[in-house]
Amino acid sequence: MRLYPFFCTMKLLIDYLSALVTQERMQVLERVSQNRTRHLTVVLEDIFQPQNASAVLRTCDCFGIQDVHIVENTNEYNINPDVVLGASQWLSIYNYNTQKENTSTALQALKSEGYRIVATSPHAEERSLEKFDVTAQKTALVFGTELTGISETVNEYADDFLKIPMFGFTESFNISVSAALILQQLVSQLRDSDIDWRLPNDEREALLVDWLLKTVKHSDKVLRRFYKEHPDFTPLT
């Protein structure tokens, strides 16, 4: 996401860009931004089937999850456009792929931001989905690779474990199905609660600017024109 100064109000830039889109489009952007959350985030660890990870991104967008963290240890993630259907452009995606082992880097970063690390596992005995309280603390849900699930590193960092009750012979759901089931339950719980789960206003406005720039044609030229007309608005580099 681009960074912009806040000493010159974001609203000035939002108003400028919103004049270049239809009123209906702006209403959609406003509505969606008001329903975004960072109280709940998703971590995908070493997913090797692009369609699965892409389906999770699409689910995150549908449920208003803004941030997705993608850990690439042995498997490189590539978006499947036929599955994600453009959802990834509206999300804030963080990739961890610069080291041999990137899981600890991702989880340490999330813990430093106040997130509780919650590993999803069909073998977890600690807490079932219907008994999990997502309102207690910011939560990072970790989904592991398709074949072996979460890694030992996730096990070590996890503050809690979460499982979906199952009653059949099959041991686990597909990762994209698991993500959809868990997020539907937890997002509903979050929205029914009294906690302030929405984005702070400054983060929401920054998101609106980013989305508007992805919507407006020739946005680079539009920005240059804006800076020329508003010389006090200096972009951060």
Residue 31 above 90 pLDDT?
yes
The model's confidence at residue 148, banded by pLDDT at 50, 70 and 90, is confident
Q: Does 224 score more than 50 pLDDT?
A: yes
Q: What is the pLDDT of residue 170?
A: 83
pLDDT score recorded for residue 56: 94
Mean predicted confidence (pLDDT) in 54-71: 95
pLDDT greater than 80 at residue 97: yes
Tens digits of per-residue pLDDT, 181-220?
A: 999 999 999 999 999 999 999 999 999 999 999 999 999 9
Residue 32 pLDDT greater than 50, yes or no: yes
Residue 2 reports pLDDT greater than 50 = no
37 marked as binding residue: no
Q: Is 175 annotated as a binding residue?
A: no
Mean pLDDT score of the chain? 89
pLDDT at residue 79 is higher than 80: no
Q: What is the DSSP string of the chain?
A: -----SSS-HHHHHHHHHTTS-HHHHHHHHHHHHT-BSSEEEEEES---HHHHHHHHHHHHHTTB-EEEEE-SSS-----HHHHTTGGGGSEEEEE-SSS--HHHHHHHHHHTTPEEEEE-TT--S-BGGG--TTSS-EEEEE-BTTTBS-HHHHHH-SEEEB----SS-----HHHHHHHHHHHHHHHHHHSSS--BPPHHHHHHHHHHHHHHHSTTHHHHHHHHHHH-TT-PPP-
Which residue segments constitute the domains of the chain, with CATH numbers given? 10-32+200-229 (no CATH), 38-192 (3.40.1280.10)
Looking at residue 169, what is its pLDDT?
A: 85
155 burial level (CB within 10 Å; 0-12, 13-18, 19+): middle
Question: What pLDDT sits at residue 237?
Answer: 42
- Phi first, then psi, for residue 41 (nearest 5°) are -135, 165
Q: Which has the closest alpha carbon to 115: 106, 125, 103?
A: 106
Give the global pTM.
0.90
